[in-house]
Amino acid sequence: MDEESLKVSFIHNNGGEVFAGDLPPIDGWRGLLQASWKESKKLWYLAGPAIFTSLCQYSLAAITQTFVGHVGDIELAAFSIANSVISGLSYGIMLGMGSALETLCGQAFGAKQLRMLGVYMQRSMVILLVTACLMSTIYVWSAQILKLIGEEEEIAEEAGKLAVWMLPQLFATAMVFPLAKFLQAQSKVLVMAVIAGGALVLHVLFSWLLIFKWGCGLWGAAVMLDISWWIVVLAQMAYILSGTCKEAWGGFTWAAFRNLGAFVRLSFASGVMLCLECWYFSLLVLLSGYIKNAKVAIDAISICMNLIGWEMMISLGFNVAISVRVSNELGAGHPRAAKFAVVTVLTTMLIIGFILMAVIFITRNEFAVAFTSSEEVMKVVSNLATLLAFTMLLNSVQPIFGGVAVGAGWQALVAYINLASYYIFGVPLGCLLGYYFDMGVKGIWIGMICGTTLQTIVLCFITFRTKWNREASQAIQNIKEWVGRA
């Protein structure tokens, strides 16, 4: 498809001019409320099922960790390291590289270039499966790697064994993210929620049987986690192949192997951007292993990270929603609608953030009971509750800016911002407070919160200084470049 034919198609689909059909000017408070209600319904239609799906998928590991925590402290620490550091590493890479598909599929869907969605999905699968093959060596040598960076030998050995059992999950994530982005771009989020809910029910039942009734321990937990992720992959693939996405899915094609250069570049930028975020708080677990009484510290931090992870699934649902809304509106040539969607979702998430912050303060002495029976661990968790509550508030809005960046295609810029805010400022500050000033886990966490705050402020400034008309025009050029010769 050449540039002229793409432009003609784009104009035809948008009422005869590039910005036709955009959000009209808002008149007074009543107009603002009506526009906000209309946009909120669109966001919740996308975010509701996406939140449920994210919560179910996150719960696969979170519930496993809860079960393992009642087996023993060593087992809990080993699973926390394997899940947060080893699996967290691969999850961040796969989620990040897969998020390139949100930009491509979202803008192509907005411009009515539906057939390209299936080609994009297959290209993403090719790239992610190759990446998974390369990353499998980290799983195989994870025990040695953990010892090399100073983790306790007993914890490193158990985590290394567990990581090998979790290898199938690595290849499942290489498949599930392209499938998910393909469906999300078309707003087919309800079926994803049903599949995730079914997988979670089976996971809880069989994990309980394997760990407690059949005494399979850590390896049983890992195997059930692998099976549950592959249930999600196969069910989503079956839905797509059944003919329900026939406009966007034209079957398997060799076009997936063409024009990979531009796709790899965007995937790499997306991967770096998201990985720097996903690894950031995983580092908190890792750095806690170097302070006194490391087992208690890791257990306490892993419980807090578990709760942060639950909240992040809500944020991730709205991250998906705003990414789809921004990419669809920019692809359709509606810059004002894209900007208004951003304002609406930020307001919504601030309200949710304050509610979750209040819940943590109210239950600060009780919530750790669900994860551990150790009085010492529960005491440390209670002492960290204030930091946890503030992190909950901050993390309610921070991922939204990431969703805006993905929808607009700013991945490379945000990667630089994340690198500077998190790893040049946040991590060194946390290490200084935690080790040099002997503040322990609290000091490490405070430094990392400061890094997140800096990143959020910078992205907020960029988002509200953006020329959305220019972004909508650029989307046409992006679609032309990414279509390639399909």
pLDDT score of 133: 93
pLDDT score of 455: 93
pLDDT score of 111: 75
pLDDT score of 476: 64
Work out the number of other CB atoms within 10 angstroms of the CB of residue 215: 9
For residues 476 and 438, the answer to whether their CB atoms sit within 8 Å is: no
Residues near 422 by Cβ (< 8 Å), separated by ≥ 6? Answer: 276, 277, 280, 448, 451, 452, 455
pLDDT score of 110: 75
Residue 323 is encoded by which pair of tokens?
């990414």
For residues 399 and 315, the answer to whether their CB atoms sit within 8 Å is: yes
pLDDT score of 454: 95
pLDDT score of 3: 40
**Residue whose structure tokens are 């691969």:** 90
Distance, CA of 295 to CA of 283 (rounded, Å): 16
Using alpha carbons only, give the angle 309, 310, 316 rounded to the nearest 5 degrees: 80
Distance, CA of 287 to CA of 379 (rounded, Å): 20
Residues near 461 by Cβ (< 8 Å), separated by ≥ 6? Answer: none
Domain ranges of the chain: 34-483
Using alpha carbons only, give the angle 215, 220, 224 rounded to the nearest 5 degrees: 135
Distance, CA of 372 to CA of 67 (rounded, Å): 10
Q: What is the DSSP letter of 437?
A: S
Distance, CA of 131 to CA of 154 (rounded, Å): 30
Distance, CA of 325 to CA of 330 (rounded, Å): 8
Encode the chain (486 residues) as per-residue pLDDT tens digits: 444 444 434 333 443 344 445 666 777 788 888 888 999 998 998 889 988 988 888 788 878 877 777 676 677 777 777 877 788 778 778 877 877 777 778 777 877 777 788 888 898 898 899 989 999 999 999 888 888 877 778 888 888 888 888 899 999 999 998 999 899 888 888 999 999 999 999 998 988 888 777 767 777 788 888 999 999 999 999 999 988 888 888 788 787 777 777 777 777 887 788 778 777 877 777 787 777 777 787 788 878 887 887 788 888 889 888 888 888 888 777 888 888 999 999 999 999 999 999 999 999 888 888 887 888 889 989 999 999 999 999 989 888 888 888 777 788 888 899 999 999 999 999 999 998 898 888 899 999 899 999 999 999 999 888 887 887 777 666 666 655 444
Please report the DSSP string for 165-211 in residue order. HTHHHHHHHHHHHHHHHHHHHTT--HHHHHHHHHHHHHHHHHHHIII
For the chain, how long is the longest CA-to-CA vector? 69
Q: How far is CA 327 from CA 262, 288, 401, 462, in A?
A: 18, 39, 13, 17
Residue 335 is encoded by which pair of tokens?
């810059």
486 SS3 class:
coil
Identity of residue 93? I
Q: Is the pTM of this model over 0.85?
A: no
pLDDT score of 22: 66
127 SS3 class:
helix
For residues 433 and 443, the answer to whether their CB atoms sit within 8 Å is: yes
Residue 484 is encoded by which pair of tokens?
């390639």
